Chain A
Amino acid sequence: MSYEEFPVFIPMGDDNLFGIVCVPEFGDSDMGVVLLTGGNYTRSHRNRMWVSAARSLAKAGFPSIRIDYHGVGDSTGHARFEMEEPFLEDAMTAADFLIAATGVQRLTFLATCFGGRTAMAAAAHHDKGEVATIFPVPLAIPSDPSKIPFRTKVKLRVRRWQWGKKLFRRPGVRRLRQAAAARRSDSSMVISPRFKRDLTEFVRRGDLWFIYGDRSSSLDELKRLLAETAPNMSKEERARIHVLILPDCAPEHFRTIEDQELVVKCAVASVTGDLDTLPARGEALSAEAAS
């Protein structure tokens, strides 16, 4: 076996975070990787995607840690996920432990979904954070968080019931809702100020990869983010933001084994520096162009 795995409980306040440290049998890379998931997935991610990524990274010489957030999986505690409150402490704790256990001097934070918010915050705050790789992440929040649109309240209430879930799954209802959403103005939504702040802070020193699919639902939000942040950055900072758009997919749903393999391949390539070999179009959305 080209790797060794060490399951660990890492103290964090009153809680214990559970994680798996995966170290290569050979190699002396000083770059370690923190693998983060969305809220409802445990450390292995859907269909063991992060297990596969961690072992491939180890084969390439990079150690990693994959964790359960507090209140999730085998970690202790209680969790509540708020889009604007990433689990910064969890990611920082895991990163510090990886450094202590393997001696790495540089860090990559790699994440999907809600984990993207956490990865961005941790990369900005950890002084050893050098790379952040983020798969599609929701970026828009209400401009006035105290005002939730009436239609959203109705939707959430209806969805609490089985008949409501079935209703929303009907193709006809889905088409009607999509058409209504397309007509609606989204001026009530803004790009997360916190994410913008963390991104601006991080690109002063680190490389940031956004890996999206051309059918990713939050692609427009990414475009807005880049258009709003790039003008205030230097040329060097803008050059540190890389956007990779994978053709003909929405990788954030992980709905097929093929999509999952692509996510794992991209995740590993973003650390090993082999992303240019993947089929993608990145030029149209670079931060440089957005500015």
Chain B
Amino acid sequence: MKVDRELLARHSSFTDEGIEERAVHFDIGGESCFGLLYQPADPRGLGFVVCHSYALEFLTLRRIERSIARALASMGYPVLAFHSRGFGDSTGTLAEATFDRLQEDLFAGASWMMSETGASDLGFIGARFGALRAGVAARGGDAGRVVLVAPEFSGTTYFRRLIRNKHMVELVDSGGSARRSMDELLDVLAKDGMLDLLGYALHGHLYKAFAGINLSTDVGSFSGDALLVQVSKRTSPSSEALAYSKRVVDGGGRCRLEVIKEPPGVNIGGPAFVSTSDPFVREDLQEPVVDRIAELVKEWIKD
């Protein structure tokens, strides 16, 4: 087969509104990781890394991550969004994606981004579980900025919600006969080492490692500048968001807390394309929310 490498290389990037989007591969621990680098024409000294989410949210939150990356790049800040080993278009397996390895990947990605763009300061971006990962990565004090969108503050709450969703579907499919308690399901996870969460593997080591993590009670030594965007049906900040914000401020940092009300039909982390009035038409109902998040990010970075 004659592969036209020149053609493929020519199409590995494009530039729009002064931002170059470049597809890259780099090695971490012998695996090839895929990423997209959002590079402004005249980059500043602060660069960001996107922490992706898990399970279906890995796909459904991509538009939010991309929009934030472009918003920051438009203000001069380079951003790297990449897939950890075992995720998306990277190589490796999910079974090997332990908590430590996920963190190791983040910092390896950050180091690649900094050497590639010349950035000397680091920030993390994440939505939902990705925000939890970003918050955990920032605990060490290496990152001066974090953007947390609709964050999951607690690892236990997040994974238990996924387990509950799986159980609900099984319950409906079985007409109610497959009822099991959360403890029973967690026993299966402990015994088998893995739970199939509607087609996504949750490995026991990951559940265990994230179980003790709660960002609203522990922000570690993060004393930088945070933007927390709560996206919810309620219009007031949740107690966890307030607690996180307070801890950051108490630790000498700054936290801008914003609340976006989810319009009817929108479920951040769920499918973006939804039928509204015609069941044969699906529209992207999340787009206004995504645009608003990008605006908030631009306002925050200007401050």
Q: Residues of A at under 8 Å CB distance from B?
A: 1, 4-11, 16, 18, 20-21, 23-24, 27-29, 39-44, 46-48, 51, 63, 71-74, 76, 78-84, 97, 100-104, 141-142, 145, 148, 152-153, 156, 159-162, 169, 171, 174-175, 254-260
Contacts and interface: CB of A to CB of B under 8 A. Distances in A.
Contacts of A97: 11
Contacts of A71: 284
B235 to A, nearest CB: 15
A77 B284 CA distance: 12
A257 B34 contact: no
Interface string B11-37: 111101000010101000000101010
Given A9-B14, A152-B279, A174-B172, A40 B271 contact: yes
B295 interface: no
B88 A148 contact: no
Q: Is the interface of A mostly helix, strand, loop or mixed?
A: mixed
B265 interface: yes
B276 interface: yes
B90 to A, nearest CB: 9
Nearest to B262: A162
Contacts of B87: 48
Contact of B59 (A21, A73, A76, A259): A73
A84 B13 CA distance: 32
A255 B1 contact: no
Given A74-B36, A100-B4, A101-B8, A169 B199 contact: no
B176 interface: yes
Nearest to A159: B265
B63 A260 contact: no
Given A5-B25, A27-B1, A169-B172, 6 more contacts: A39-B282, A40-B60, A83-B281, A101-B4, A101-B7, A156-B275
A48 to B, nearest CB: 7
Contacts of B282: 39-40, 80-81
B59 A39 contact: no
Nearest to A48: B88
A141 B281 CA distance: 11
B36 A256 contact: no
Contacts of A254: 199
B44 interface: no
Contact of A44 (B4, B59, B176): B59
Interface of B: 1-5, 7-9, 11-14, 16, 21, 23, 25, 32, 34, 36, 56, 59-60, 62-63, 66, 87-89, 91, 168-169, 171-172, 175-176, 196, 198-201, 233, 264-265, 271-273, 275-284, 287
B199 A79 contact: no
A41 B4 CA distance: 29
A63 B175 contact: no
A160 B262 CA distance: 11
Leading 3 A-B pairs by shortest Cβ distance? A7-B23, A40-B271, A8-B11
B18 to A, nearest CB: 15
A163 to B, nearest CB: 11
B279 A73 contact: no
A161 B287 CA distance: 18
Contact of B63 (A27, A47, A73, A161): A73
A87 to B, nearest CB: 12
Given A5-B89, A44-B89, A103 B2 contact: yes
A156 B277 contact: yes
A40 B61 CA distance: 11
Nearest to B56: A46
A20 B8 contact: no
Contact of A51 (B88, B233, B272, B275): B88
Contacts of A84: 280
A209 B60 CA distance: 29
B146 to A, nearest CB: 23
Contacts of B11: 8-10, 97
30 contacts: A5-B34, A6-B8, A7-B12, A7-B23, A9-B12, A9-B21, A9-B23, A18-B23, A20-B34, A40-B271, A42-B59, A46-B199, A47-B199, A48-B87, A73-B66, A74-B36, A74-B66, A76-B16, A83-B281, A100-B7, A101-B3, A101-B7, A141-B280, A148-B278, A156-B275, A156-B276, A160-B264, A171-B175, A256-B196, A260-B199
Contact of A257 (B89, B196, B273, B281): B196
Contacts of A29: 1
B103 to A, nearest CB: 21
A76 to B, nearest CB: 7
B199 A259 contact: yes
A64 B32 CA distance: 19
